[in-house]
Amino acid sequence: MKNIKILILTFLIVFSFSSCKDFFDVNDPSNVVSEKEQELDLLMPSAEYYAVMLDFNLGYSIGQVQQHIASYFSHSIDQHYESSIYSAWKLYYTKYLYTSRRMEALAEEKNATHYKGVIKVLNALTLGMITDIYGDVPFKEAAMGSVNLQPAVDTQQDIYNEIQNMLDAAITDLNDNDVSGFENLPGDGIYNGNIDKWIKLAYTLKARYALHLAKREGSVVAAQEALSYLPNGFNSNDDDFQLSFNDKVKNPWHTSVVLASRTGNISVLFSEQLVNYMNSSIYPTAAYDPRIYDYIDNGGAATFEGAQNGNEGNTEAGTSANTVFNENSYYFKQNSPLVLVSYAEALFIKAEAEFLANGGTPTSTGSTQAAYDAYLAGIAANMDKIGIDPSLRDAYLLDPAIDVSPAGLRLEHIMKEKYIALLLNPEVFTDLRRYDFSTDVYKGLALPANQDPAVNHSWFRRAIYPVSELSKNPNLAESWQSVVTPVWWDQ
């Protein structure tokens, strides 16, 4: 179902999660329903909601590093100052993972095979988000309560193996004949119990995480592996993994940014990097990318002037930027969905993988028809999803800056369009690191103004562990790394 009314009831049941002060706080408030009274159909929407909110919390912070958005404030992650993104860490370990562990136990107890599969898919997705931001993190021993208050830290290499193994096991579980009475996944607020869509998500995630390993396994090997999974993955916008909101539980971008901006409490604006990709500054086109009018409200000005990252809401020239969030955008209305994995992403994975498998590099020109077709299809899928007028979509696709032909295709074309389509998705941060923030791939990209001098002109490549957790778990302290130290797959 596309609404999340059941979340209201679920919040009352799992309120103890939001009351947790510490990493593995196992104290339950007296007014909370006990674990024995929790059921899969009530925990399921909470697990989905926490996964979606994890994406939002990461997107809000990392969106400033990947330069989708720019901060109004100084000495922030926008300027590469140290950040633990504590809200995301806490959400994962005290809410999502706690819920997931309880669901695992219940699904095993009831032999609910399809629920087992779904939990594995959600675990793979959320664990992937966490490890891609922090590197080595606790997982296997995490969220065990008083049984283990100092969980071991799993290496990212082991975690990536675990992710693929979980997804394989999930696909097996989801294809199994489940006669538990829970086979239709009651409480599923995203796919309404559609098992086929969960299987497609699992295969799409396998492709996503396979391509992440291009530096480790070689770009051709990683690309070919990703391509082997995609035929079983998403094949339309209807497959997108997203959660829609309503007038009671509102889209977090709407509540955190749009509503705040209405009262003059502006926190972030759209960055000049994103805006210049869409306003013909970097890639001259006959007309602006039509998505710019959906994403951005410029107050009716003649031009869109994005904020320079690190310049406290100002343009590079020092004037005030005019690119606030459009409250009528597909993404930012109170009932807008928050999209974690999309068909458009799958198409751009295919385009990039076809390009790399054909021997393409960040500086080479020309590729296969398959790479080119996927590149154009990714643009069209994203525009169709957010409701761009077909005539404007087609005009954009035929513009010489976009319609470059297979012989003229470059990696920069694919990654630029993926950058625009995956608006505020932290997956873009992974893409930037995979290509070392190269201006051959991301034209116009530059370090923020007034960058933290401690990082010595290096790019922010990971978040640090929360300081409060370092004192509780010596295993974390031993694994601590600087924000400019690449994670395992980035080396």
**Residues with Cβ within 8 Å of residue 27, at least 6 apart in sequence:** none
Give the C-alpha separation, 479 to 131, whole Å.
13
Distances (CA, A) of 479 to 135, 152, 475, 476: 9, 10, 7, 5
Q: Cβ(410)–Cβ(440) under 8 Å?
A: no
- pLDDT score recorded for residue 10: 40
- pLDDT score recorded for residue 38: 65
**Residues with Cβ within 8 Å of residue 264, at least 6 apart in sequence:** none
Q: Which of 35, 39, 41 is nearest to 17 (CA)?
A: 35
Tell me the whole-structure pTM to 2 decimals. Answer: 0.93
Domain map (residue ranges) of the chain:
5-26+38-193, 267-324, 340-434
Low-confidence ranges of the chain (pLDDT < 50): 1-34, 36-37
CATH class of the domain at 5-26+38-193: mainly alpha
Give the C-alpha separation, 179 to 173, whole Å.
12
pLDDT digits 0-9 by tens, 71-127: 999 999 999 999 999 999 999 999 999 999 999 999 999 999 999 999 999 999 999
Q: Cβ(422)–Cβ(63) under 8 Å?
A: no
Using DSSP's 3-state secondary structure scheme, residue 485 falls into coil
pLDDT digits 0-9 by tens, 437-478: 999 999 999 999 999 999 999 999 999 999 999 999 999 999
Q: Which of 84, 224, 165, 133 is nearest to 490 (CA)?
A: 133
Q: Cβ(378)–Cβ(347) under 8 Å?
A: yes
Q: Which of 127, 123, 145 is nearest to 137 (CA)?
A: 127
Q: Cβ(307)–Cβ(319) under 8 Å?
A: no
Residue type present at position 166: M
CATH number of 340-434: 1.20.120
Q: What angle do CA 19, 463, 99 make, to 5 degrees?
A: 35
Q: Cβ(416)–Cβ(443) under 8 Å?
A: yes
